[in-house]
A and B are shown apart, each in its own frame.
Chain A
Amino acid sequence: MRIVGRAFVFGDFIDTDVLAPGPYLRKPLPELAAHCLEALDPGFARAVRPGDVVVGGIGFGIGSSREQAVQALLHLGVGCVLARGFARIFFRNAINLGLPVLCCPDIEVQAGSELDILPAEGRVLDRSSGRVFQAQALPPRLMEILAAGGLVPWLQARRSEPRAPARNG
C-alpha cells in the first residue's frame, strides 16, 4: 500500500465535533462530509482530493466514539491521517473502517506539500522538502484489515476461507 497526496495541515486535538459536527449526524453521509473540518477550514471539503493526507498534532480524533468522524474523511477521499498522536477510539475506528492512520511523533510539513507514504514501513517522504519522517509502522494484521477495506470485509473474507480463524484478535 502506498499513498501519495497533498498535505492538509491542522493542529493538536482535532476533535470529532469538527470532523463530524453533531447537527449533521442524522443526515446522509455526503451531507455530513461536506461539513467535515469546516469549523477550522471552511474550504476543506471542496479542496480535498482523493489520496490527500490530513496531518495533525497530538490527540487527533479526541471526543466522541462516532465513526462518522472517520467515514466523513473516507467519503472525501482522504488517503491517510498522519498525526503526532491519536485518541484511542478514533484510531481503532479508522483501522476498522479501512482508513490508514499513522502515528508520526516528529511530523512537520507545510500545507500543500506532496507526501509519499508507505504505511507498512511507516515511511513518510515529503517530496516538496525532501525530508523523510519515520512513523510507527502498522503491524501486518492491521495492514491486512486495511487492505481488505476494514474489519467487516476482512471478517467476510475470513468466513469464506473456512480454515482461517475468524477472530477479531
Chain B
Amino acid sequence: MSQSLAQKIISRAAGRPEVAVGEIVVARVDLAMMHDSGGPRRVWPRLKELGARIWDPERVVLVSDHFVPAVDAESAEILALTRRFAAEFGIRRFHDMQGICHVVLQEYGHLRPGMFAVGGDSHSPSGGAVGAFMIGIGATDMLAVLITGETWLRVPETWQVLLDAPLPQGVCAKDVMLKLLADLGMANEYVVFEYQGPGVAAMPMEERFVLCNMSAELGGKTGIVPPDETTLAALAANGVEVDAAWLSLRSDPEAVSRQIVVQAGALAPLVAKPHSPAQAEPVERCAGERIDQAYIGACTGAKLSDLRMAAAVLRGRRVAPGTRLLVAPASQRTWQAAAADGTLRILSEAGAILLPSGCGACAGLGAGLLAAGETCIASTARNFKGRMGSPEASVFLGSPYTVAASAIAGRIADPREFL
C-alpha cells in the first residue's frame, strides 16, 4: 500500500508496517513539548492524583512562554510552579523565558525529521517545518502521554500544497496561508497539509515554519515539509547531527489524496479582516483602513526573517503619528541575531516599541492589548474576537511586510509601495 510521509512516520511510531487513512492507532511519542499555560499547572495535580511519574523525562521539553514575564502575582506563581515541576521531574530541557515554544524547539535542535511528536499547544504543527509529524493536544491528552509515552490518533489523509514558483518581492509565507484560508476555509479536519514545489524549495526554514504553523488555522491535523538540503543545513546549524537518510522521507505519490496548486509567482499580499483568519482578501480591498496599533509578534510573525521583512520596509522611515508599532521578537536568540545584524536598530529608529519575547498580546496575555473600538494589524496567526484584548476591538492579520507598511501609513497599506 502506498503511504504518505505522515503515514510512514505514524506507522513507525505505531510499530506497524503500514497504517490506513481513517483507522485509529496507538503511537509511541518521540518527543512531548508543553508550556507554562497548558503544562505543569494543569498536569501536575492530576499526576499526583494518579500517583504517576513521567515515562521518560528525557523526551519532554518544557517552555515558559505564555505568562512571561509575570505581570501579576498569579502569573508569577504559574512560572514558579513551572520551575518547581522541572526540578521535581528532572526535566533538563527546560527553556525558561527563552522564547516561544515552537521557535525554541527548533532553535535548540530538539526536533528531527521523521519524529512523531506532540505539543500541548495548537500551533504544534510548526514542527512540520523540519519534517517531523507534530500535532497539538490538550492537557489531559498530554497527561496520558506523560504517563504512558503513547497517544491514540486517527490516521489523517494528506493534501499536497504545491507552490509552483518562488514568491515575488514583498510577498511571503504568511500571504500563502491567508490565500489558502480564503480558498479552503478553516474546517479541513483530519488532513495533513504537505507543502512542496519550487516556491517551498526557495524558502528558508522560518518561512516553511509559517506554512506548517498556520495549518492549524486551516483546521488541519498538522503541516509538514519533506526535508531537503535547506532542512539539513538548518538542523546542522542548530547543533543536530544530520543523517542523509532524512532526504528520503517522502510521500508515495499515490498516497496524496488531493493536490492544491498555489500560483505563487502571481501571489499578492493579503489581509484577513476581523474576526477570522479565513476572512482574507487582497490588501488593496482593506487599504486605507485606519489603525491604532501595528503588532509584530508571536511564533507566526516575529522570527528573525519576520523582523528583517519589517526592517526592509521601515528602514529610514517613521511610524505614523497616532499609530504605535509594537515588536515582540519570538525568542532570545531572535533578539540576539536581530541586535547583531542591525535589524533592531532599524526598528527602533523607526519608532517601534520593543517588547519581551513570548506569546504576549497574540494570546491575550502580555503587553499590547487593545481597547474597545481600537483597530490593530498583526503579524500573528489568529484574530478571533476578543483574542487580543477587548471583544470590541478589531484585528486584521497581515505579513510582517504589510504590518510594517501599515505602521508607516497609519492605515492598512500595500507593502510593495515601500520596497
Contacts and interface: CB of A to CB of B under 8 A. Distances in A.
Contacts of B26: 167-169
Contacts of B83: none
A64 B299 CA distance: 14
Interface residues of B, number: 48
A18 B219 CA distance: 17
B385 A39 contact: yes
Contacts of B75: 26
A59 B140 contact: no
Looking at B138, B139, B221, which has the most chain A CB atoms within 10 Å of its CB? B138
Contacts of B38: 65-67
Nearest to B25: A169
A168 B144 contact: yes
A92 interface: yes
Interface stretch (A46-54, A112-120, A128-136, A148-156): A148-156
Interface stretch (B185-193, B246-254, B331-339): B185-193
A13 B279 CA distance: 12
Contact of B138 (A27, A89, A168): A89
A45 interface: no
B6 interface: no
Looking at A17, A97, A156, which has the most chain B CB atoms within 10 Å of its CB? A17
Nearest to B381: A63
A88 interface: yes
A138 to B, nearest CB: 14
A18 B385 contact: yes
B386 A169 contact: no
18 contacts: A13-B186, A16-B384, A22-B364, A23-B369, A39-B385, A39-B386, A59-B186, A59-B219, A62-B187, A87-B189, A88-B219, A89-B122, A89-B136, A89-B138, A93-B140, A150-B140, A168-B150, A169-B152
Contacts of B388: 22
Contacts of B186: 13, 59, 62
A167 B46 CA distance: 16
B50 A155 contact: yes
Nearest to B144: A168
